[in-house]
Every structure is written in C-alpha cells, then in structure tokens.
C-alpha cells in the first residue's frame, strides 16, 4: 500500500455573478487527478502558475475543501475531517510554504515558532521542549542563539530552514513542500535542497515537492507528475520525464529550463523555438475540443501520458518510449 493514494481528486471553486449572486460557473482548479506517493520518496508535482498545484497540495494537507474524489491514508479517506482527526493525520502531514516571511509569524520568536507543533501534538515538559527545539535548529544548521530572534532577522534561506525545522518537529510521515526554494537565489536553493534531502534520509519522510521548474525537481524527485489546467498530462519516473517526454506540455517545460553552459545556449534556444513551433502547429492533437487534456494512457509500467489511445500507441511504436 502506498503512503498516500489520490484518486480522481476534484476541487472546483464556484463563480458567482448577477444581482442574486448565484453560482453561474466554476473554476476547475483540480479536475480529476490520481497519483500515489510511496513511503520515503520525493514525488514531484510540476506545472505553470495556475495549473492547480497549490490547490492539490492544500487538499492533501487538509486545508482545502475537496469537491469529489478521495485521498487515502492508512486505508481511510482523509478528505473526511473525522478520519483526519482519528488517524493523527494533522500530526503526520506537514507543509512548507514558498514565502517564509509571511508563513512564519513575525511577532513570534523562533523558539515559539518551532515549538508550536510540539505544543499542539507532543505536550513535552518545558526542558524537553527546549532540548528538542535546539536539536531541530542544529539539524537545519542554525546556532542556538536563533532561539530568541524573530523571522525578519534571518535571510530567506535561513527562514526556509526554520520552516523545515518546524515541519519536521513532530517526525511527520509526509511534508508538502510548495515551491520551497522559488524565492531564493540559485546558490541558496542548492543549500536548502541538499539539507531537505539530508533530513529525508535521517527521518525517512516523504515529500510532495511542488514546483513550476523542472530544473529544480530533477535533483529531488523519483517520480514526477506534470500538471496542466487542473489535469495531469504526464506521469513517470525521472528517467521517463527527462529522457523520454511525450506530451508537448512536458516538452515545453523541459525546454524552458535555463541553459547554464554558455557554449550550449544557441542550440538550447533553437531547440526551444522548435518545441514552441510544434506546440503552435499541433496543440489540437494534445487537447480535446474543450481544450482539456485527455485521460492518461499507460505506455509503460511507470509512464502514462494524456493522449488519445491511438496516438499514444503510435508514439510507443515509433520508439519514443523506452521498452
């Protein structure tokens, strides 16, 4: 059994209009997605802004009301609040946000910020609590004098470390990391990602790693789902997605990864323009008459793509998918 099994999840927001403020339409932020997260893995959820990634993350952590579908944990559907409480789900699943300055209470000292989940769930003595907070600061590479400071007294990278320390305080099974390094400089991004990996090894936690950038996800994730307009357009292992992408949307995201090697920049730019041309000329093949992605078709045991069955099989036969 997987750690988390998400099945046909939908989150639709009502749109109201007119004098009576009636519901006239809905935003299909998440529109029928399914994937599983295994214990100890980092699962990547990648897509452009507005594709529905954060709504998915918030649904998994229990912060968003789900329209339909299920999120199974230990055999129970946690979209029902009673199951979340019964299973200690709020203890086992934590979240790290992109914007550490607004997600950490500016009026609280770091000691209180990190101790908050411990106070909610563990009920330790004052001395044990302080010891635990000091251990957590040490794990994320911050000195003991951080205890008495406030969030604004730290750099963006340090604040993200504090967010991670708070998230791991209760030894969770899963952390939803929503764009955890997007607001940081490239050099600091690498530091934060490295210690997220270190913590994963030490604590055996899983991550749902949400990002708009396939470049960041490459070094973190075993399995990746590509999200576009509320649906999944491709799911696969890291090798499937980076070396054998099938959906034009995935290819566009890959082409958008900046090229750091100066000598490769011209070739990279040409490749990106070629992908954009295919997208302009062939996008009606990849989306149905409403502009929605097709249901996923399995093309190998690990790889699925949202294409009409016949087109998916044709691509497989042409050898674009590894056997």
Ligand X SMILES: Nc1ncnc2c1ncn2[C@@H]1O[C@H](COP(=O)(O)OP(=O)(O)OP(=O)(O)O)[C@@H](O)[C@H]1O
Quote the CA–CA distance of 30 and 51 in Å, as a whole number: 8
CB nearer ligand X, residue 5 or residue 213: 213
Shortest Å, Cβ 11 to ligand X? 8
Indicate whether 308 belongs to the interface with ligand X (CB under 6 A). no
CB nearer ligand X, residue 77 or residue 213: 213
In the numeric block, the tokens 């044709």 are attached to: 314
> Residue 124: which region, alpha, beta or left (left: phi > 0; alpha: psi -120 to 50)?
beta
CB nearer ligand X, residue 75 or residue 258: 258
Q: In the set 42, 53, 117, 142, which binds ligand X (CB under 6 A)? A: 53
Instruction: Describe the crossing of helices 110-121 and 156-168 by its angle, rounded to 10 degrees.
Output: 20
Site string for ligand X, 162-201 (x = CB under 6 A): ----------------------------------------
Q: In the set 19, 20, 49, 152, which binds ligand X (CB under 6 A)? A: 49
The residue range among 45-53, 137-145, 162-170, 216-224 that interacts with ligand X, by the rule CB under 6 A, is 45-53
Shortest Å, Cβ 321 to ligand X? 27
Indicate whether 103 belongs to the interface with ligand X (CB under 6 A). no
> How many residues are listed for the chain in this entry?
323
Site string for ligand X, 223-252 (x = CB under 6 A): ------------------------------
CB nearer ligand X, residue 129 or residue 179: 179
Indicate whether 29 belongs to the interface with ligand X (CB under 6 A). yes
Q: Which residues bind ligand X (CB under 6 A)?
A: 13, 27, 29, 47, 49-55, 212
């Amino acid at each position: 059994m997987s750690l988390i099994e998400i099945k046909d999840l939908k989150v639709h927001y009502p749109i109201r209009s007119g004098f009576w403020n009636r519901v006239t339409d809905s935003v299909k932020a998440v529109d029928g997605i399914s994937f599983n997260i295994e214990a100890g893995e980092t699962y990547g959820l990648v897509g452009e802004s507005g594709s529905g990634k954060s709504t998915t993350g918030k649904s998994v952590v229990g912060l968003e009301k789900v329209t339909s579908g299920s999120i199974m944990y230990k055999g129970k559907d946690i979209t029902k609040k009673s199951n979340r409480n019964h299973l200690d789900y709020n203890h086992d699943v934590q979240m790290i946000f992109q914007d550490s300055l607004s997600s950490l209470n500016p009026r609280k000292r770091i000691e209180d910020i990190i101790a908050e989940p411990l106070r909610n769930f563990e009920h330790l003595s004052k001395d044990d609590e302080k010891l635990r907070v000091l251990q957590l600061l040490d794990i994320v590479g911050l000195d003991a004098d951080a205890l008495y400071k406030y969030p604004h007294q730290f750099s963006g990278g340090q604040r993200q470390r504090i967010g991670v320390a708070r998230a791991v305080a209760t030894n969770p099974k899963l952390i939803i990391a929503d764009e955890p390094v997007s607001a940081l400089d490239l050099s600091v991004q690498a530091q934060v990602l490295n210690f997220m990996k270190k913590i994963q090894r030490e604590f055996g936690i899983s991550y749902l790693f949400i990002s708009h950038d396939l470049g960041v996800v490459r070094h973190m994730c075993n399995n990746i789902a590509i999200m576009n307009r509320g649906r999944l357009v491709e799911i696969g292992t890291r090798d499937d997605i980076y070396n054998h992408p099938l959906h034009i949307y995935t290819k566009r995201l890959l082409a958008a990864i900046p090229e750091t090697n100066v000598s490769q920049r011209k070739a990279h730019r040409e490749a990106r323009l070629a992908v954009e041309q295919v997208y302009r000329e062939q996008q009606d093949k990849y989306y149905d008459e409403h502009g929605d992605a097709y249901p996923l078709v399995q093309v190998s045991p690990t790889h699925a793509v949202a294409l009409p069955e016949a087109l998916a099989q044709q691509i497989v036969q042409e050898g674009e998918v590894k056997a």
